[in-house]
Amino acid sequence: VYAVAQKHDLVIIEDEPYYFLQMDPYKGPGASPVPPPSTHDEFLQALVPSFVRLDVDGRVVRLDSFSKVLAPGSRVGWAVLSQQLAERMVRHNEVSVQNPAGFAQIILFKLLDEQWGHGGYLDWLIHIRTEYTSRRNVLLDACHKYLPESVVSWAPPAAGMFVRTIGFLPVLPFSGTRANSRHSFGCTLTEASTPSLGNARCTPSNRKSSRRLWKTKC
Ligand SMILES: Cc1ncc(COP(=O)(O)O)c(C=O)c1O
């Protein structure tokens, strides 16, 4: 990817709020849990390297956020990028969002700088990664137990907090259209066992375009 970006002189924006939620591989139902990393170094070394590590041209913009690991509503993050691009980003922020909310900034400052320090933050990341790994394992165990593998498939996630399932349905829920090929869609459980299509909550115009997108995937 980096070589392609170099060839065409592209900037790579690495938007990675889930980066620290990387997990050990799922070993199947009933497998004993892998113990969490015992040191900060072990934790950091096991992470997939960022494009920043490969960046010799200053073409990578790395975006991090506290949204997925500390508080979804904090809306505070940070960027790692070359000085030249940082100057442009600062100018853009000055005429758009300006700053994250002051309340969020002061709460994070107090927690990270005055309470935790780097060590405390890394301890927290290890804790939350362990927590999400065990939730993922419970969810996948339940998929194995309750979902009929003849019609639904899924890939165990290696990071983040979502499991994507792919189902083969004779008739698509909500649209009533016959489905004679494979359809993939995001779904959430709103009521007991009622899957809702990701696009069901879109405005009519968005729904139209997301349906188009959805159909092109089939
Ligand atoms: C890929 C990705 N980037 C960025 C964000 C937003 O992060 P923030 O709350 O810091 O704006 C999200 C959250 O939904 C996300 O999924």
17 lines ligand 1 (CB under 6 A): yes
Q: Is 55 helix (H, G, I), strand (E, B) or coil?
A: coil
Whether 160 lines ligand 1, by a CB cut-off of 6 Å, is no
Tokens 């009521």: give the residue: 191
Q: Indicate if ligand 1 lies below 6 Å from the C-beta of 67.
A: yes
The CA 30 to ligand 1 mean position distance, Å, reads 33
Between the CA atoms of 109, 114, 116 and 118, what dihedral angle is there, to the nearest 10 degrees?
Answer: 80
What is the distance in A from the centroid of ligand 1 to the CA of 15? 8
Q: Give tens-digit pLDDT for 39-82.
A: 999 999 999 999 999 999 999 999 999 999 999 889 999 999 99
Give the helix, strand, coil percentages of the chain, each rounded to 5: 45, 15, 40
pLDDT of residue 72: 87
> What gap in Å lies between CA 16 and CA 141, rounded to an integer?
27
pLDDT at 213: 33
Would residue 153 be called left, alpha or beta, if left means φ above 0 and alpha means ψ between -120 and 50 degrees?
Answer: beta
pLDDT grade for 199, boundaries at 50, 70 and 90 = very low
Q: For all residues of the chain together, what is the average pLDDT?
A: 83
Which pLDDT score, from 0 to 100, does residue 10 have? 98
- Tokens 């899924």 — which residue? 154
What percentage of the chain exceeds 70 in pLDDT?
77
| Amino acid 177: pLDDT | 55
- Which residue lies with its CA nearest to atom 9 of ligand 1? 75
Decide whether any atom of ligand 1 lies within 6 Å of the 75 Cβ: yes
pLDDT confidence of residue 180: 44
Cβ density class 102-121: b for 16+ within 10 Å, e for less: eebeeebeebbeeeeeeeeb
Q: Give the distance, in angstroms, between the CA of residue 139 and the centroid of all CA atoms in the same chain.
A: 17
Q: What angle do CA 5, 10, 15 make, to 5 degrees?
A: 90
pLDDT > 90? residue 12:
yes
- Give the model's pLDDT for residue 117: 97
Report the C-alpha gap between 146 and 77 in whole angstroms.
38
With cut-offs at 50, 70 and 90, classify the pLDDT of residue 150.
confident
Mean pLDDT of 83-110: 95
Residue 141 has pLDDT above 60, yes or no: yes
3-state DSSP call for residue 187? Answer: strand
> Ligand 1 centre and the CA of 212: distance in Å?
25
Q: Is the pLDDT reported for residue 159 higher than 90?
A: yes
74 lines ligand 1 (CB under 6 A): no
Contact status, residue 178 vs residue 170, Cβ threshold 8 Å: yes
Q: How many angstroms is it from 17 CA to the middle of ligand 1?
A: 6
pLDDT, mean of residues 73-98: 95
